[in-house]
Amino acid sequence: MGSYDDRTQEFSINLPMQYDMQQVLTIVYDALKEKGYNPVSQIVGYLLSEDPTYITTHNNARSLIRKIDRDELLKAMVRTYLGE
């Protein structure tokens, strides 16, 4: 029989968390802007309430933002704001 490697190969489609969050926020921001909303206000409303209806379904934005851990996003935003 031919030789083969019986090690389990890993496959990951996840990018580093920081990049994922930034990419998702950019997509959500753009989708909200395209629909005529104030993107910053809508995103803040979502973050404070965790109510997904603050985010449009346009370009799958609502589904995307719900995949981000809100606490991790807030931590990343504070770190970025403080230049950490």
Q: Assess if residue 3 is contained within a domain.
A: no
Q: Assess if residue 1 is contained within a domain.
A: no
Q: Assess if residue 57 is contained within a domain.
A: yes
Averaged pLDDT of the chain: 86
Mean pLDDT of 1-23: 64
Q: Assess if residue 2 is contained within a domain.
A: no
Going by C-alpha positions, the residue among 72, 52, 74, 73 that lies closest to residue 63 is 52
Q: Assess if residue 63 is contained within a domain.
A: yes
List CB contacts of 34: < 8 A, sequence separation 6 or more: 58, 59
Q: Assess if residue 70 is contained within a domain.
A: yes
For residue 11, pLDDT over 90 is answered with no
Give the domain range for residue 55.
17-82
Q: Assess if residue 38 is contained within a domain.
A: yes
Rounded Cα gap, residues 65 and 60, in angstroms: 9
- Which H or E element spans position 51? none
**pLDDT tens-digit map of 14-38:** 545 555 888 999 999 999 999 999 9
**pLDDT tens-digit map of 26-77:** 999 999 999 999 999 999 999 999 999 999 999 999 999 999 999 988 998 8
Domain count, the chain: 1
